[in-house]
Amino acid sequence: MKSTVFLVFLLLVAFAQAKIYQRCEWARVLKAHGMDGYYGHSLANWVCLSKWESDYNTEATNRNSDGSTDYGIFQINSRYWCEDYRTPHGKNVCGIQCSKLLTNNVGVAIQCAKRIVRDPNGIGAWVAWRRHCQNQDLSSYVAGCGV
C-alpha cells in the first residue's frame, strides 16, 4: 500500500513539473489552443513573446522592483493578473493563483494570456514583445514548424 501511495505521489509531482519547450513544440501547443490569430495576433507574435519573456520555460519567474513577480512562460504579473499572496494590492484579474502558471499545464497560462491581450494595452502589455517583436519580421519564429 505504501508503495502505491508513493507511486501516485511521484506521478503527481511529475505532472506538476515545469517544462522548457522547444520553439516548434511551443508553436504547435499555441496553435492547438487557438492562439494563431487570437485578437489579431499571429502565432509568430506569441512564439516571439514567450521566447523573450521566458525562453519557453514554464517555471520562469522574475521579481520586479515594485514588489510584484512575473510568472511562467508568458511572465504574467502578480500586480494585475494572478494572486501570489505577497504582492500588495494585487488585482488578480485572471482569477488564478500565480503558482498555477509554473506547471506544464499551460492551458491556465494561455487562458490568462488571452484575457490580458483583450485589455486596452493588448499584446503591448508585454515589454518583451514591444522591445523584440513589435514591427519585426517574425517569420523565423514559426519557420520549419509546419504550423
Catalytic residue among 55, 59, 70, 137: 70
**25 carries an active-site annotation:** no
Enumerate the H helices of the chain as residue ranges. 2-16, 23-32, 43-54, 107-117, 127-132
Sign for the CA dihedral angle at 121, 26, 47, 43 comes to: negative
Catalytic: which of 25, 36, 53, 119?
53
* Residue 125 to residue 92: CA distance in whole angstroms: 15
The alpha-helical segments, DSSP class H, found in 88-145 are 107-117, 127-132
To the query of whether residue 59 is one of the catalytic residues in this protein, the response is: no
**Active site members:** 53, 70
